Amino acid sequence: MDKNQLGVQYMQEGKWEEAAKIFNEVILENPQDPIAYINFGNVLSAVGDDDKALKFYEKAIELDENAAAGYYSAGNIYFTNEQFEQAKKMFETAMKKGLENSDNYFMLGLTLVQLNQGKFALPYLQRSVELDEEDAEARFQYGLCLAQEELIEEAIVQFEKCIELDKDHSDAFYNLGVSYAFKENAGKALTMFNKALEIQPDHLLAGHAKKLIESQQ
């Protein structure tokens, strides 16, 4: 196992200081290694030092303009800090540089949703779930985007797949309820709102929706 791999293992174990020490050693031994800068940036981001992390990603990109993971990691920081235009540019650049994984498609889709470009987000969220069919959160966000674009039947499919993967996803049950209510299936909607409240008793939206349906029966 090389030092970069060892550092990544430390990160997976939450040993941030050990990871930082290893990546620092790699940078000292090979200052031209962009991967070490990206990894060190990921450690800094994990411990909340976003500004410093960005500098490490920028250094990695300076060393290798095709370092797709550097653009992706920078995009995550911009997204977290609600700088969605910058995040969009980074995720798109990561894609152009060859990063074809589900996470990058997912984050680009989420960013476009935040920019009120749901229609453009759909193909990226769809590709994300195609590349990782077991990602419950990607299914949920794809379903949410479909529902916002009033593609209710398609949204129901994704919400149902989400709860197959995560039986405690209260928001997926709530949004299934909303979808069934939209289709005027009050009985099924009520079942879904009850399920959301069973999982999360303080789910305010589900509680409100349940009362609304019960008042109409």
Can you give the pLDDT at residue 2? 86
Percent of the chain with pLDDT over 90: 93
Per residue in 163-189, pLDDT (tens digit) is 999 999 999 999 999 999 998 899 999
CA dist 23 to 37, 55, 167, Å?
8, 15, 39
Q: What is the pLDDT of residue 1?
A: 67
pLDDT at residue 25 in the model: 93
pTM over cut 0.85: yes
Give the residue from 81, 19, 77 showing the smallest Cα distance to 53. Answer: 77
- Looking at residue 69, what is its pLDDT? 96
pLDDT at residue 91, as a whole number: 98
pLDDT in tens, 68-111: 999 999 999 999 999 999 999 999 999 999 999 999 999 999 99
Indicate the DSSP class of residue 201.
Answer: T
15-30 pLDDT tens trace: 999 999 999 999 999 9
The residue type of 55 is K
Q: Return the structure tokens found at 22.
A: 């290893």
Considering the four listed CATH numbers 3.30.750.210, 1.20.120.1200, 3.40.50.2000, 1.25.40.10, the one that applies to the domain covering 1-99 is: 1.25.40.10
123-165 pLDDT, tens digit per residue, is 999 999 999 999 999 999 999 999 999 999 999 999 999 999 9
Task: Supply the pLDDT for residue 4.
Answer: 83
Q: How many residues does the chain have?
A: 217
